[in-house]
Amino acid sequence: MDYKNSGVDIEAGYKSVELMKEYVKGTMRPEVLGGLGGFSGAFSLKAIKDMEDPVLLSGTDGCGTKVKLAIIMDKHDTIGIDAVAMCVNDVACAGGEPLFFLDYIACGKNYPEKIAMIVKGVAEGCKMSECALIGGETAEHPGLMPEEDYDLAGFSVGVIDRKDMITGENIKDGDTLVAIASSGVHSNGFSLVRKVFEDKLTKEGLDTYYDELGRTLGEALLEPTRIYVKALKSVKNAGVKIKGCSHITGGGFYENIPRMLPDGIRAQVNKDSYEVPAIFKMLQREGNIDEHMMYNTFNMGVGMVLAVDPADADRTVAAINESGEKAFVLGKAVAGEKGVTIC
């Protein structure tokens, strides 16, 4: 008896590391010390010494059951972007610059080529957010997970000078809410998505083309989560003070927007200010889901919401659009009990 006979292939682990090295290399920043293979990732903080009061920010998350669709479709090169996005967008929400990222992959069996494709996506997400992929772990769990299954999670650390933090405490009645468009469902609500489309959760079903989507169902659902780091940096470089920022993830509008609001301020959202993407209309129709539940579960086409002074609204939208994202005025902050009104 040996470790391989028990279900853990050490040689496959070595091969995975070799295959992923070329992708990881492309994410390096000058602050990264050493290379892959150490017991910890090292990152120099010399560059932040000039900050008055540097604050480290962190975020950790996964992709939820969206991973199941990647497994069914046997497409593993973008799910890593989702893992990075879920973490770095949270760091960026506070105004921070993501510095580095670590990933964790748990799998039933280590297929080196598959693991390398997952890490390729992670590396792509890191490049999009200009953070370094300085470490990670791939763990085989025979007997705990089916051989074809895996789960993916990550952890990001960023930094900001305390005086520049986005806290939401100064949002006031009359401030403008600017939305940054999502690319689709992103990485939340997939347990409900899979329930709605349970009769289509086969390779053939997900490869079916729908005119209303303009692509296959699988392509629409597996579309990676947008990374908003550069968009927020563009707003800051335009001289706009972002008062509050909300990443629309699990819990949709009703849970996430209030997280940036101070007491006594309510978000008033104009649902007709933009076109809800077709995938959400399809989900609502096929699942017979009421409107409140849709806005309480999904991002409904809005990946991030910023609160800015009304005088800065046009500059904010322009800066976001120039960064390659799509922005629009979603509503406003009004006096009232903290929460969200969608009208």
- Distance (Å, whole) CA 268 – CA 270: 7
Region for residue 186 given its phi and psi (left: phi exceeds 0; alpha: psi -120 to 50; beta: otherwise): left
Short-list 245, 237, 227, 234, CA closest to 95:
245
335: which strand partners? 265
Short-list 282, 285, 279, 287, CA closest to 196:
287
Task: Give the pLDDT confidence of 151-196 residue by residue, as tens digits.
Answer: 999 999 999 999 999 999 999 999 999 999 999 999 999 999 999 9
Q: For the domain bounded by 10-164, which CATH number is listed?
A: 3.30.1330.10
- Distance (Å, whole) CA 123 – CA 127: 6
- Other CB atoms within a 10 A radius of the CB of residue 213 amount to 18
Domain boundaries, the chain: 10-164, 176-342
- Distance (Å, whole) CA 47 – CA 51: 9
Task: Give the pLDDT confidence of 46-90 residue by residue, as tens digits.
Answer: 988 889 999 999 999 999 999 999 999 999 999 999 999 999 999
Region for residue 324 given its phi and psi (left: phi exceeds 0; alpha: psi -120 to 50; beta: otherwise): left
Average pLDDT, the chain: 94
Domains 10-164 and 176-342 alike in fold: no
Mean per-residue pLDDT for 126-146? 95
Q: For the domain bounded by 176-342, which CATH number is listed?
A: 3.90.650.10
332: which strand partners? 176, 268
Tell which wins on pLDDT, 14 or 298.
Answer: 298
